[in-house]
Homo-oligomer: A and B are copies of this chain.
Amino acid sequence: MDRKPKILVTNDDGIHSKGILVLARALREVGHVFVVAPDREESAIAHSLTLHRPLRVEKIKKNYYAVDGTPADCVHLGVNVLLPDRPGLIVAGINKGGNLGDDVTYSGTVSAAFEGTLLGIPSFAISLVSRSHFKFDAATRFAVRMAKHVIKHGLPKDTLLNVNVPNLDEEEIKSYKITRQGRWVHNGSGVIEKTDPRGKKYYWIGSGQFIFDQKKDTDFEAVSKACISVTPLHLDLTNYGSINLLRRWKI
């Protein structure tokens, strides 16, 4: 009997991105891999499910499906429709670019792992911290180790892992660290105003400078010290620390 678990692999760089191809190939060592990923790059569309229009699925080859939707859509359709039965693990990545600090709330890669967690399936996201010249080897190898571990031991309830790997050769990476989510410090307005040929203004977001708050035990700190960062995230956004304060309010 075949006891290999099914693994759903997705990303937000799109199904043709090198990051998902090397990841899917490497995870074959661990289980039966199914790739369900957006048909194009879906960065910064965050944790969205597409509710206002139907979704189309294109089978690219055996066990590879392209969806005209978001990473969360891919997980939802993969688990509920495309895979022959429930996967034992969902892996999102390898993202070209880090998902550190507050960026996790925008990240399509992390949102895919959130969607998997909402569906009750152990899930992790893995990202390579760089803007170019991506070195996938160390991240790929760590994804395989992590996949084996998670399949064997599971994950704490309602918890996903957000893994960020420095863009270094494997021998330059020191270790991995369990971290907490850091914070970006915004610096500057982050919007550029331009004028089109017809004299109308338009705006680009994302031009501001961001620096990170390199506090102890954060994802930022780990990566800056040549370590792989593993942050456990959950879906409960309640700021419990402020509940008692607010209960004293008289609104």
Question: Which of A19-27, A132-140, A225-233 lies at the binding interface?
Answer: A225-233
Please give the distance in Å from A79's CB to the nearest CB on chain B: 8
Residue A159, interface by CB 8 Å: yes
Which residues, 61 to 103 on A, are CB-close (under 8 Å) to B? Answer: 73, 76-77, 80-81, 102
Chain B residues in 8 Å Cβ range of A161: 246
Let me know if A16 is at the binding interface, CB within 8 A: no
> Which of B50, B233, B245 is A237 in contact with, Cβ under 8 Å?
B233
Other A-B contacts than A54-B194, A56-B200, A156-B246, 13 sampled, CB-CB below 8 A, are A44-B48, A55-B202, A55-B204, A57-B201, A105-B237, A142-B251, A156-B241, A178-B246, A181-B238, A232-B238, A232-B242, A232-B246, A234-B238
Q: Within 8 Å CB of A176, what residues of B?
A: 251
Q: A48-B106, A111-B46, A191-B76 are contacts. A54–B234 as well, Cβ < 8 Å? A: no
Interface presence of A1 (CB below 8 A): no
In-complex Cβ contact of A205 among B51, B146, B205, B231 (8 A): B51
Instruction: Check if A238 sits within 8 Å of B180, measured CB to CB.
Output: yes
Given contacts A119-B186, A232-B239, A237-B105, A51 and B46 within 8 Å (CB-CB): no
